[in-house]
Amino acid sequence: MRVAIAGGNGFIGRRLTELLLQAGHEVVWLSHRPGRFPLGDRLSEVPFDYMTPLGDGPLPAWAEAVAAADVVVNLSGYPIVMRWNEERKQLLRDSRVHTARALKDAISRAREGGAGPSAYIGASAVGIYGDAGDTVLAEDAPAGTDWLSQLGVTWERETFAVGEETGVRVVTVRTGLVLGDEGFLPKMALPMKLFVGGPVGSGRQWTPWIHLDDMAGIYRFVIEHDEISGPVNAVAPNPVTMRDFSKALGRALHRPSWFPVPGFGLKIVLGEVAPYMVYSQRPTMQKLLDAGYEFAYPEIDGALVAAL
């Protein structure tokens, strides 16, 4: 199978690429910044420009790569966890909406010519549910009403439009906090290493987490299983509160977890994005379990030890 991955040279994309290559697939990265990582056998890379319309002329290399793929995966999107301003919020939206639209146009052109991929797998996030307290959230749970939830709604609308307009199978992978050597975990681990770490906010909020290997494994699973479609919650099967997450991180680092990060402290560091860091979300991954996915790291302690 040939898989084209937008954002393949990112945190999740690189691990997914490893799993796909190990399984004998071919991978091509569609990259905004190509050349950052060395390429090996059965892995290639082309520049990706989602803002320039395809037009009626010759296709750019990235659109040709989409046309030649069996499956397209979209992992592209401007990072969420940073201070926001209006310009960055527009980038958050545009990077998700316009990437999906560009890929949709390329898939449509390919399928009109009798070729093209049969499936489109798009990234999403459990943040789409908003602050849901203790409610167990299956994939049919309603979306939240805050700005970030509505960004998720817009993102998924563009993802499902790919299937509606081209007829390909579509999956949206709703991601939790991914535990690995990039992203959220190093930021939380550093103060704990310095003996000033602890839970964020009250600690009572549910914190949806998943190890990087399972995150990439789920993408590979839905790529290879044609019977899966629609939204999929990509979270570990044993959810924890932020307090329990922090205690487990302390155990993994052999440090105490006693110094909670108050909401006003987050506000100083992160500004408008701070309230989202203490939202409570408890998604269920039953859809994946019913489909036969087996988690490599179902428990938080083992996942944190492996991630660190």
Structural domain boundaries in the chain? 2-179+208-236+281-296
pTM assigned to the model = 0.92
- CATH assignment of 2-179+208-236+281-296? 3.40.50.720
Q: How far is CA 124 from CA 21, 127, 177, 233, in A?
A: 24, 8, 12, 9
Contact 274, 210 (CB under 8 A): no
Long-range contacts of 265-274 (CB under 8 A, 24+ apart): 266/200, 266/201, 269/83, 270/81, 270/82, 270/83, 271/83, 271/84, 272/83, 272/84, 273/80, 273/81, 273/82, 273/83, 273/84
Measured in residues, the chain has a length of: 308
pLDDT in tens, the chain (308 residues): 999 999 999 999 999 999 999 999 999 999 988 888 889 899 999 999 888 878 777 889 999 999 999 999 999 887 776 666 777 778 888 889 899 999 999 999 999 888 899 999 999 999 999 999 999 999 999 999 998 899 999 999 999 999 999 999 999 999 998 999 887 788 777 776 776 666 676 788 899 999 999 999 999 999 999 999 999 999 999 999 988 988 898 899 888 776 665 554 444 444 444 455 678 999 999 999 999 999 999 999 999 999 99
